């Protein structure tokens, strides 16, 4: 922490200590760099910086909040007065008190080398590798993106909590367009918290191979298929399911899982954990953005809906316990119910086994329509945009365009989980297989 930050945090601590009301300060600072390339030539460079202070206060039992970019003592005091006025106007009785200081562990979320990464130099070196792929036969175009993100948060409250969090990560993504009788597209990416994990050649190779396999696709015929979902798509399926564990949605009858606590809803092969203390994960933290100490959880335990997650506001309102799930989605937004890191336990099946036992199926690579899924009912309709045919246990030709629907409670009653997994920054996700799905 530099001198300017030290002076600022000392002011916040003094103001919090002297406050006659319970007060919470959360300072956020973000920096991001993004370089995009088209056909190995730099296309655009973007830099962004943002910072701000959010204030929450409990006055006469009511919660109020405000936000400011003015980080002077005068600005902080003004923000407190605004939060007090809002508390008395809204008369929201939710959070009774802010957390008190507790012992927490320090977690390494990135290495020092990735923090020092010069993105422009790295992009130039990666472009030299990209040239080899761009010159390959059948390649129409190659678009890549190189990003570096730095985030810092400082939480201080009147109960003595002072918690600092910092994460740095870089992302490489690549999109290939290929052509033969008709076009094919391939995409892959890496999210890295260690510099040694930034391997552009791995991304280029994977995206190129995928694009070549997906050339000349034919339309999927209607019928029943076994579907194996690539971790890209499995991540979206799991993400939607876990949104149904949001305590706010559950307690307000806006989750399809609200009445399923303790019930075996999904297949026994599916276990999903929240693991907030994993090193080199983007979302790892010893406590959440409200100062509540994080806890590990088995949200889905061998198919059983095991527990929901709550922030302070929802926990206080419905007499539940927050176990460290109050996270701020943006600089000028209040904490809401979120999870930190999601890990789907790997299964007992090799991907090769899952393919080998499939008579008629698809390895689904492109899946669209998650924005239309209904979290209140669990109903969904999804469209397959890209897939590889599986016939008599072997991967075959490229396929496209089919839809399927249903309810996620029924859809995942029998699900197989692969041993192979992918790391997505704050997730570890395997392949998922669902049998006998009707496609139209």
**Domains of the chain and CATH, by start:** 3-211 (3.30.2290.10), 217-440 (no CATH)
CA angle 127, 133, 139 (to 5 degrees): 120
pLDDT of residue 224: 98
pLDDT of residue 109: 94
pTM: 0.94
The dihedral through the CA atoms of 340, 346, 351, 357 has a sign that is: negative
pLDDT of residue 182: 82
pLDDT of residue 190: 97
Strands 360-368 and 342-344, sheet pairing: unpaired
Exposed, middle or buried: residue 162 (CB in 10 Å: 0-12, 13-18, 19+)?
middle
pLDDT of residue 104: 73
**DSSP code of residue 346:** P
pLDDT of residue 1: 60
**DSSP code of residue 369:** -
Q: Report the alpha-carbon distance of residue 419 to residue 184 in Å, rounded.
A: 28
Exposed, middle or buried: residue 332 (CB in 10 Å: 0-12, 13-18, 19+)?
middle
The dihedral through the CA atoms of 344, 348, 349, 351 has a sign that is: positive
Strands 22-38 and 41-59, sheet pairing: antiparallel
User: For the chain, what's the residue count?
Assistant: 440
Q: Report the alpha-carbon distance of residue 248 to residue 258 in Å, rounded.
A: 10
pLDDT of residue 318: 94
Q: Mean pLDDT in runs of 10 for the chain (440 residues)?
A: 75 94 96 97 96 96 95 94 97 93 84 95 95 92 97 96 95 94 91 96 96 95 98 98 98 97 97 97 96 97 98 95 95 95 96 98 97 97 98 96 97 97 97 98
pLDDT of residue 235: 98
């Amino acid at each position: 922490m530099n001198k300017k930050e030290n002076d600022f945090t000392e002011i916040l601590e003094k103001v919090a200590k002297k406050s006659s009301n319970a007060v919470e300060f959360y300072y956020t600072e973000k920096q991001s760099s993004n370089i995009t390339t088209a056909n190995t030539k730099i296309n655009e460079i973007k830099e962004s910086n943002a910072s701000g202070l959010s204030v929450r206060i409990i006055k006469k039992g009511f919660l109020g909040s405000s936000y400011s970019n003015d980080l002077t003592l005068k600005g902080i005091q003004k923000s407190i007065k605004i939060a007090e006025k809002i508390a008395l106007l809204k008369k929201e009785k939710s959070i009774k008190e802010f957390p008190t200081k507790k012992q927490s562990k320090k977690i390494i979320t990135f290495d020092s080398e990735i923090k020092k990464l010069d993105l422009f130099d790295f992009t130039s070196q990666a472009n030299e590798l990209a040239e080899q792929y761009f010159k390959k036969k059948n390649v129409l175009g190659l678009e890549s993106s190189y990003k570096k993100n730095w985030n810092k948060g400082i939480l201080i409250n009147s109960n003595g909590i002072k918690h600092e969090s910092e994460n740095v990560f870089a992302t490489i993504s690549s999109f290939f367009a290929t052509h033969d009788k008709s076009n094919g597209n391939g995409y892959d990416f890496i999210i890295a918290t260690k510099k040694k994990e930034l391997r552009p050649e791995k991304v280029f190779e994977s995206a190129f191979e995928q694009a070549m396999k997906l050339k000349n696709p034919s339309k999927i015929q209607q019928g029943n298929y076994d579907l194996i979902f690539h971790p890209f798509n499995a991540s979206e399926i799991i993400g939607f399911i876990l949104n149904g564990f949001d305590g706010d949605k559950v307690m307000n009858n806006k989750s399809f899982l609200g009445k399923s606590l303790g019930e075996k809803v999904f297949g026994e092969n599916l276990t999903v954990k929240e693991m907030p203390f994993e090193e080199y994960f983007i979302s790892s933290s010893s406590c959440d953005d409200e100062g509540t100490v994080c806890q590990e959880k088995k949200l889905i335990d061998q198919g059983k809906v095991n527990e929901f997650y709550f922030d302070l506001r929802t926990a206080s309102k419905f007499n539940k316990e927050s176990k460290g799930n109050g996270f701020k989605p943006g600089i000028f937004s209040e904490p809401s119910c979120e999870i930190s890191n999601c890990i789907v336990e790997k299964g007992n099946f090799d991907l090769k086994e899952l393919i080998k036992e499939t008579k008629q199926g698809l390895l689904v690579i492109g899946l669209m329509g998650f924005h239309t899924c209904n979290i209140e009912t669990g109903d969904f309709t999804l469209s397959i945009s890209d897939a590889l045919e599986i016939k008599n246990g072997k991967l075959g030709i490229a396929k496209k365009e089919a839809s399927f629907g249903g309810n996620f409670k029924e859809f995942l009653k029998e699900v197989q989980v692969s041993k192979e997994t992918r790391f997505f920054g704050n997730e570890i996700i395997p392949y998922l297989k669902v049998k006998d799905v009707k496609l139209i």
